[in-house]
Amino acid sequence: MKGLSPSRNSNCRLPAYSHALNDFQPRRQRLIEANIEFIPSDEMLEGYTGSAAEVDQVLETIEGGDECIHQHNLPTHLKQLCEARLLSAEQERLLFREMNFLKYRASEWQRAVASGCDSPDLVLMAERALARAVRIRDCLIRSNLRLVISIIKKFVSPRVTFDELLSEGIVVLLQAVEKFDYSRGFRFSTYAFRAVSRHVYRYSTNAIRERQRCATDSDGWAAEQISDDGSTPADERLWDNLRQMLQQYTQHLDRREQFVIRSRYALGLHRRVRTFQSLADILGVSKERVRQIEQRAVRKLRRMAEQSQTDKLHAIT
């Protein structure tokens, strides 16, 4: 393809961007391990070589953030998020084409490095291409944030906060930018609207359902513990107090923390201990992220327990 660097067969003859890189080997390894995904198009195969000057003009317009926003009911920090100008259809196509082209080039250079071409220049060129692709991606996100806000405002309720939905909506918007195929001819806002609306609806519905279960979970857990034969009045008083404490503590955990704690320790309606991987599949996050959520929740519960007057419970027995 025109504009791409040669492979190993050409002895890695490249422009001399730099004769050497400090910490070259770690940077080379990071490039090899990078997960570079892009949406291919016919233009790439036909020899598209980039539109740097045109793209720069659009990026400067978006990053300038000087568009007047008539949403007086939003707090200042949200108005600032919405300051980026909306893109025209042609500007949108230009940015998506350039972003995917840059990632395509970076993937070609990544392949050359992984095949044994130990050129610092090649690593540097790939890093620059990926950094510019990220800049373009961020501008696409900024120019569409007001779309996310307009969607999530419809789903805010006493049980699901605006900030919670905004966080979810931005994650979906980022994923949509990465997956959008501009060559199919329709606008990104159409694609993003469907993706964000569908996710936020499911998220808010699940959140309401989970929080409705929270009250019954702690009751069920306490009931399971005191239903064994041989329980004494003192046992029942102890578990009644523990049940009340558990209800109080879990109210201070967010929805995901409550779900992870109950699942990991088989509390309430959860009859068996779930693995990190099974919870990761349910929540749509990594296994490591589930572990972090559990650790954070346990730290919160420990702090609450330390602050409570647990001596009164021991006095009952």
Mean pLDDT of the chain: 77
Q: Once rounded to an integer, what is the mean pLDDT over residues 16-28?
A: 70
Number of domains in the chain: 2
Of 203, 221, 245, the one marking the end of a domain is: 203
Range of the domain at 194: 18-203
Residue 170 and residue 45 share a domain: yes
Per-residue pLDDT tens for 170-195? 999 999 999 999 989 899 999 999 99
Q: Once rounded to an integer, what is the mean pLDDT over residues 126-155?
A: 93
Residue 7 lies inside a defined structural domain of this protein: no
Residue 5 has pLDDT above 50, yes or no: no
Residue 11 has pLDDT above 90, yes or no: no
The burial of 162, by beta-carbon neighbours within 10 Å (0-12 exposed, 13-18 middle, 19 or more buried), is given as middle
Residue 227 and residue 99 share a domain: no
Residue 134 and residue 249 share a domain: no
Residue 170 lies inside a defined structural domain of this protein: yes
Q: Once rounded to an integer, what is the mean pLDDT over residues 71-94?
A: 77
Residue 107 and residue 22 share a domain: yes
pLDDT of residue 304: 76
pLDDT of residue 41: 82
Residue 5 lies inside a defined structural domain of this protein: no
Greater confidence (18 vs 46) lies with 46
Residue 211 has pLDDT above 80, yes or no: no
Q: What is the largest CA-CA distance in the chain?
A: 84
Greater confidence (153 vs 303) lies with 153
Pick from 85-89, 213-217, 234-238, 295-299 the range whose average pLDDT is largest. 85-89
Reported as a pLDDT band with limits 50, 70 and 90, residue 21 is low
Among the residue ranges 218-232, 242-256, 286-300, the one predicted with the least confidence is 218-232
Of 143, 178, 203, the one marking the end of a domain is: 203
Residue 29 lies inside a defined structural domain of this protein: yes
Residue 13 has pLDDT above 80, yes or no: no
Residue 42 and residue 91 share a domain: yes
Model's pTM, two decimal places? 0.62
pLDDT of residue 3: 39
Residue 272 has pLDDT above 70, yes or no: no
Greater confidence (128 vs 215) lies with 128
pLDDT of residue 40: 87
Q: Once rounded to an integer, what is the mean pLDDT over residues 122-127?
A: 94
Residue 85 and residue 154 share a domain: yes
Residue 36 lies inside a defined structural domain of this protein: yes
Among the residue ranges 56-65, 71-80, 282-291, the one predicted with the least confidence is 71-80
Give the C-alpha separation, 196 to 180, whole Å. Answer: 13
Asked if 124 and 18 touch (Cβ cutoff 8 Å), the reply is yes
**What is the domain-level CATH number for residue 264?**
1.10.10.10
Residue 61 and residue 27 share a domain: yes
Neighbours of 310 (CB within 10 A): 13
User: In degrees to the nearest 10, what's the CA dihedral of 181, 177, 286, 305?
Assistant: -150
Q: Which residues contact 254 (CB under 8 A, 6 or more apart)?
A: 164
Per-residue pLDDT tens for 42-68? 877 677 777 888 999 999 888 876 554
Residue 38 and residue 123 share a domain: yes
Residue 237 and residue 95 share a domain: no
Residue 290 and residue 256 share a domain: yes
Residue 124 and residue 35 share a domain: yes
Of 156, 173, 203, the one marking the end of a domain is: 203
Residue 1 lies inside a defined structural domain of this protein: no
Q: Once rounded to an integer, what is the mean pLDDT over residues 138-152?
A: 92
Reported as a pLDDT band with limits 50, 70 and 90, residue 237 is low
**What is the domain-level CATH number for residue 125?**
1.20.120
Among the residue ranges 20-24, 35-39, 129-133, the one predicted with the least confidence is 20-24
Residue 3 lies inside a defined structural domain of this protein: no
Residue 219 and residue 80 share a domain: no
Residue 163 has pLDDT above 50, yes or no: yes
Residue 12 lies inside a defined structural domain of this protein: no
Greater confidence (99 vs 299) lies with 99
In the chain, the N- to C-terminal Cα span, in Å, equals 79
